[in-house]
Amino acid sequence: MISIHPDLLRSFTMVAQTHTFTGAARVLGVRQSTISQHIKRLEDLVGRRLLDRDTHRVALTVEGEVLLGHALRVLDANEALTRYVSATPLRGRLRIGASEDFVLSALPDILANFVRRYPEVNLELTAGLSEELYDTFDSGNLDLIFVKRRIGDRRGDSAWNEPIAWVGRADFRVPADGPVPLLLYPSPSVTRARALETLENSGRGWRIAFTSASLSGLSAAARAGIGVMPHSARLIPPGLAVIAPSADLPPLPDVEFVVLGPGGNNPAAQELTAAILQWASLGQARPIQREAPAIV
């Protein structure tokens, strides 16, 4: 009967998620040589090649895909058992606020894993504009928020920083001799404010072609070719593409995504914060769509 130590499975699953031995070692806080030894030992134990390697990337073999599902279930069960015998299980209510672009991309997977690990925590989710979520959090009506950083507010743990992208249909034509048709959230909106400020500073004409408080509505308008919207490229909705900046479409400034929580007095919020930050460090958001050519 084969006995597989959880450390081997942990290294294997992290390599599968990061696609590199270096990334897995960084997340787990061990040497790259340790990851290599764990993978070799695991492949020897199961008698199968689990990974295809080249100089740039690591990918799962068919056998590796099968083992990954088993490994994740084993690790989840091991963590649940450890929590059961060593500590009081997490319970209670956790009120979460998240910007809608995150809610419609990566958050469902993060919450599904969280619920599986902590079934006794009752989650309440509010989606909305970052500025509004800040106000709700500050009024004490949310325990944790994942938002775009508000100008001048240095609170929270940084998840990642990136330039805002112009997003639209891959074949969208930027008007060379007319105002840029914009698809925008209503005010207050971080991306709206920064996009309008950028266009004003560059002297580029613009018009608001569509406004919606719903990302689904903005995405539908973009897919219809009504205009372009400022948006996180890392959380780009399906069916849309990043449109390269040009003389008619100036580059946009950076936006930073942060997690704000209540500190050490809410273990459930701490666990979810750690899960979001780990997801961000692994780059597991939706892959950035190809850039559309700048058509002038």
Tens-digit pLDDT profile for residues 50-78: 998 876 678 899 999 999 989 988 888 88
Same fold, 6-86 and 92-296: no
- Parse the chain into domains and list their residue ranges: 6-86, 92-296
Q: Is the pTM of this model over 0.75?
A: no
User: Measuring CA to CA, which residue among 270, 202, 281 is closest to residue 28?
Assistant: 281
92-296: CATH number? 3.40.190.290
What's the confidence (pLDDT) of residue 107? 83
Assigned CATH class of 6-86: mainly alpha
Environment class of 144 (CB within 10 Å of its CB; exposed 0-12, middle 13-18, buried 19+): buried
Fill in the amino acid letter for 26: R
pLDDT single digits (tens) 5-64: 889 999 999 898 888 888 888 878 888 999 999 999 999 999 999 998 876 678 899 999
**Side-chain half-sphere of 173: how many Cα atoms within 13 Å?**
5
Q: Which 3 state secondary structure label does DSSP give 250?
A: coil
Contact 255, 164 (CB under 8 A): yes
Confidence of residue 285 (pLDDT cuts 50, 70, 90): very low
CA dihedral 189, 195, 201, 203 (to 10 degrees): -130
pLDDT, tens only, 209-229: 999 988 889 999 999 999 999
